[in-house]
Amino acid sequence: MTLSGDVIGPMFPEIPLTTKTMLRREMKGTEAKVFELAANIWTLHYLRLTNQLGWETAREVLEEANTLFGQVMKRCDKEGRFKNWDN
């Protein structure tokens, strides 16, 4: 079970957790990528605190989180603001 803010969903039915697996809704844009990044990291944190985290799962999720982080930072401008879409 995943608890992220007021969103509850399955815990890693597939890696990475996406808005489609958690909310049953495809979302695009920076806000969706930030949500997906946070959901994956918080789920890893919960698994670690409850001694359920395996190294293989951690490695796989962190690799995907690295990709998500890159997608989020790609939309950050020089002043630190985020664009919702690529230009």
Please give the pLDDT value at position 52: 86
Please give the pLDDT value at position 24: 85
Q: What is the span of the domain harbouring residue 27?
A: 2-74
Split into its structural domains, the chain has a count of 1
Please give the pLDDT value at position 84: 84
On whether residue 12 sits in a domain, the answer given is: yes
On whether residue 86 sits in a domain, the answer given is: no
Q: What is the DSSP letter of 28?
A: -
Mean pLDDT of each 10-residue bin along the chain, 87 residues long: 55 83 87 92 89 92 96 90 80
On whether residue 16 sits in a domain, the answer given is: yes
Calpha distance 30→84 (Å, rounded): 5
